[in-house]
Amino acid sequence: MNMLAPQTLSHVLDENRQRGRPSLVVYLTGGLPDLTTTARLVETVALAGADAVELGIPFSDPIMDGPVIQAASQRALTGGTTPEQVFDVVREVSGLLPVGLMTYANIVGHMGWNRFAARAAAAGATAVIIPDLPLEEAESWLLAAQAKGIEPVLFVAPTSSDERILKNAARTQGFLYAVGTLGVTGERHALADTVAALTVRAKALTTKPVLVGVGVSTPAQAAEAAATADGVVVGSAVVRRVLEAAGPDEAVETVQSFVGELRAALDEVAQPMSGPAFDAACELCEAARLTPWFHEDDLCWIAECEACSVPIVVWRHHGLPAPADEKAMLARLGRVAEGRFGEGKWFVDGERRQIPDHWHAHARWKWV
Amino acid sequence: MTDQHVPDPVSGRVCAETDPETGSETDPETGARPASSPRQKEQKGQDAGGLSPLDLGDGRYGEFGGLFVPETLIPALQELETAFSTAWVDAGFRAQLDGLLRDYAGRPTPLTDAVRLAETLGGPRVLLKREDLNHTGSHKINNTLGQALLALRMGKSRVIAETGAGQHGVATATVAALFGLECAVFMGEEDVARQALNVVRMQLLGAEVIPVSSGSRTLKDATNEALRDWVATVESTHYIIGSVVGPHPYPGLVRELQRVIGTEARAQCVASTGGDPSGVIACVGGGSNAMGIFADFLDLPEVRLFGVEAAGKGLESGLHGASVQRGVPGVLHGARTMLLQDEHGQIKEAHSISAGLDYPGVGPEHAALAASGRATYIGCTDAEALDGLRLLSRTEGIIPALESAHAVAALSRLVQEGVFTEDDTVLLCVSGRGDKDMDQVAAYLDLTGRA
């Protein structure tokens, strides 16, 4: 067993979420501007504060990508970049942070699902993202990935029904990739309205981290997205800087400062937890089942409040959660409250009178 | 197999009187509700009540097909599948489509007994299925009329299409004009240059032609760009794919809309010869005219089916569009099929004199028919296609499209090789007319000094 076995995406992103720290995943095209610089860029984004890297194996016909990543892929391919060479880059950098590979179904299928998973894992990649492989076609791939310990990342989109979100959330590993906007990858002037709607919906349906990608272009947009999601994937905005740089040094420099800005903006919306995740003296941490429980998952539990006799939602961890988790827990409380009091006949009482340092909220009956 | 519902093709091309109120315009609102469409009145007496629900299955053809698309598009594909399978058994929808095929497109198209061509070849009797006589000049209108009606049924106000030779683009722009739909057509820059006439036609019809400069700047890249547009506009837009390619349900849907070619041809052949043909020949790019003419013969093993791919500069030259013969399985444009690709899985550029066959993939059902051996795929080079074009022009007075000319050239070779003899009857699909290719053909013939 390799003693330097890399941490998985799940480890890093789950831990971030529990600490109330939004995650930052940065996409880079393998072989842009060349393989040596790609490795340098991965080191750079790791040092600048990215939690993980999504490394693209360029494909000739990237239908989910806009002009920037198309141009990057084309340039990398013209430079002769092959899947094997991108695996070599992964081998070089995978000790620094979790590395996911991103490529299209034909590249993976051409090598063979099992062989690709085996080589990716041997190189030290921990996850693989295939944007044109929906669940309907993914069964062989999911089995191959599982067998090699690769986390397959699945997508949800603004057009996804709740049923599809549930299905993809159930099978994804590492995180659930929420496509922020209707469209292909690329920078946008503003964060799409669809981001909040989709992530709130997705987070109400899963306890896995939900990260927004596609159309997250600036530090401000990243921070805005992190208000409802567990983090962001930033691709085109980074790759454009590499494409526009005069040489490798300038590319490294400009990416370093941009990723640093993204990290800082995300840290501003973070809610760092004070103290440990479990406080032996805290009644809510104890979670004694004194009254009926209506719901429980990895994120929270909902029970009848011993004192008030109304539903109370309690975070699994001591302290205060990130805004995105707070919204997700309130959505769960809402479902219990609807059943209890009827539609619209309740409200959230978020005040923490007795135990202010362990997040919880009550749903109370509303006089209508 | 689903029961088919088409007008009796043997009764000839007697068009019902076109209502001047509706002959050229259909309100999208009423167009979407065939029950209130005046066109339906012409269809009284026809009954689609005997149709069983259409099942396109899971879109798998052996190991080929499927739906390899971004998550964003999955709901739209499911919606399309539902819309199509319910529309196809809706008598009102079928009556409206049949009415349009008859009164607007000009169906049934004739079956021409190519006597002088047959004499020249010295072999079998040759029956030409004249898809070149459809409105807009090719078989593409069969598909676009059907898909436009589906777009209306799904409440979409905009349609997009990819096009190679421009024939599908023109057919899409035409139905968009007919139904008042907004229309954008993606076309590779190289094809924009070599098919200028069709660009003008599309623009005249009110469509926006978007030149695509990425990759090989041909049909493959136009399809990529159409898919990217659709990912962004899927809520208001229907993507009218022009061939039996793409994600499920498109390959089956387009085959059903093109099936009319073979259904008519078979009945016409029986009426004029007393039996089924011994062979059917059609060109294959994506393969929609071939799938359309093959469909009703698939269950008749005694009828030999030949698909003709572009061999370009020769199958051994590497410059061709022969995905079935020289490709390996892979995933492109939403389906697993035979593809021209390199050892790493990067898609290679196709080459053909004919923009419509210049595509590195093929419909998944063709890939499956080749794998099972039910159909045979052969290649004709650019030079052979030019010979085929001249042969048909001079013997029958029919100038075929360069795509269809590949089928003529294949017939010529199959006769030389003794595959078809005097005892045989061969059905050949003239998928389109050659007007669009005249500049290019003139240039080629000058170059070779043979004009």
| Structural domain includes residue B436 | yes
- Distance CA(B300)–CA(B418), nearest Å, equals 22
Instruction: Identify which of B70, B233, B331 has the shortest CB distance to residue A106.
Output: B331
Report the number of distinct structural domains present in chain B: 1
Query: In this structure, are residues B368 and B64 in contact, taking their beta carbons and an 8 Å threshold?
Result: yes
Distance from CA of A214 to the nearest CA of B (A): 11
Distance from CA of B161 to the nearest CA of A (A): 15
**Domain stop point among A219, A240, A268:** A268
| Structural domain includes residue B93 | no
| Structural domain includes residue B283 | yes
| Structural domain includes residue B422 | yes
- Distance CA(A126)–CA(A337), nearest Å, equals 40
pLDDT value for B449? 52
pLDDT value for B450? 52
Cβ-based contacts of B334 with chain A (< 8 Å) = 132
pLDDT value for B12? 36
| Structural domain includes residue A80 | yes
Q: Which residues of B400-434 are buried (b: 16+ CB within 10 A; e: fewer)?
A: bbbbbbbbbbbbbebbeeebbeeebbbbbbbbbbb
A193–B contact, CB cutoff 8 A? no
Instruction: Identify which of B71, B214, B228 has the shortest CB distance to residue A134.
Output: B71
Tens of pLDDT, residue by residue over B286-305, are 999 999 999 999 999 999 99
A159–B contact, CB cutoff 8 A? yes
CA torsion sign for A319, A324, A325, A327 is positive
* CB within 8 Å: A83 and B344: yes
Our CA dihedral for A167, A168, A173, A178, rounded to 10 degrees, sits at -140
Is A261 in the same domain as A347?
no
* CB within 8 Å: A110 and B336: no
| Structural domain includes residue A202 | yes
Band (B134; pLDDT cuts 50, 70, 90)? very high
* CB within 8 Å: B345 and A133: no
| Structural domain includes residue B17 | no
Average pLDDT over residues A147-165: 97
Nearest to B295 by CA among B132, B53, B50, B61: B61
- Distance CA(B328)–CA(A257), nearest Å, equals 45
Q: How much is the mean pLDDT over chain A?
A: 93
Instruction: Identify which of A109, A136, A183 has the shortest CB distance to residue B231.
Output: A183
Report the number of distinct structural domains present in chain A: 2
Q: Which is catalytic among the residues A14, A34, A43, A65?
A: A65
Amino acid at B297: F
pLDDT at B10 > cutoff 90? no
| Structural domain includes residue A281 | no
Tens of pLDDT, residue by residue over B226-274, are 999 999 999 999 999 999 999 999 999 999 999 999 999 999 999 999 9
CATH of residue B327: 3.40.50.1100
Tens of pLDDT, residue by residue over B91-119, are 999 999 999 999 999 999 999 999 999 99
* Location of structure tokens 């504060």: A49
Reply yes or no on whether A267 is catalytic.
no
Is A260 in the same domain as A359?
no
Cβ-based contacts of B233 with chain A (< 8 Å) = 182
| Structural domain includes residue A325 | yes
CATH of residue A314: 3.30.200
Residue B357 DSSP one-character state: G
Average pLDDT over residues A176-196: 94
Band (A317; pLDDT cuts 50, 70, 90)? confident
- Tokens standing for residue B109: 């198209």
pLDDT value for A273? 57
Is A244 in the same domain as A206?
yes
Nearest CA in chain B to A71: B214
* CB within 8 Å: A74 and B231: no
Domain that holds residue A335: 287-365
pLDDT at A256 > cutoff 60? yes
Three-state SS for A226?
A: helix
| Structural domain includes residue A1 | no
Cβ-based contacts of A78 with chain B (< 8 Å) = none
B366–A contact, CB cutoff 8 A? no
Point out the residues of B that are catalytic.
140, 162, 431
Q: Mutation test of the interface with chain B: which of A107, A159, A171, A185, choosing the one with the most B Cβ atoms within 10 A? A: A159
Nearest to B222 by CA among B333, B56, B371: B333
A106–B contact, CB cutoff 8 A? yes
| Structural domain includes residue A110 | yes
Cβ-based contacts of B74 with chain A (< 8 Å) = 134, 136, 159-160, 164
Percent of chain B with pLDDT over 70: 87
Nearest to B59 by CA among B300, B245, B313: B245
B72–A contact, CB cutoff 8 A? yes
Three-state SS for B306?
A: strand
Average pLDDT over residues A10-15: 92
Tens of pLDDT, residue by residue over B163-190, are 988 999 999 999 999 999 999 999 999 8
| Structural domain includes residue B116 | yes
CATH of residue A66: 3.20.20.70
| Structural domain includes residue A85 | yes
Is A83 in the same domain as A50?
yes
| Structural domain includes residue B223 | no
Domain that holds residue B322: 111-137+259-445
**Domain stop point among A268, A295, A317:** A268
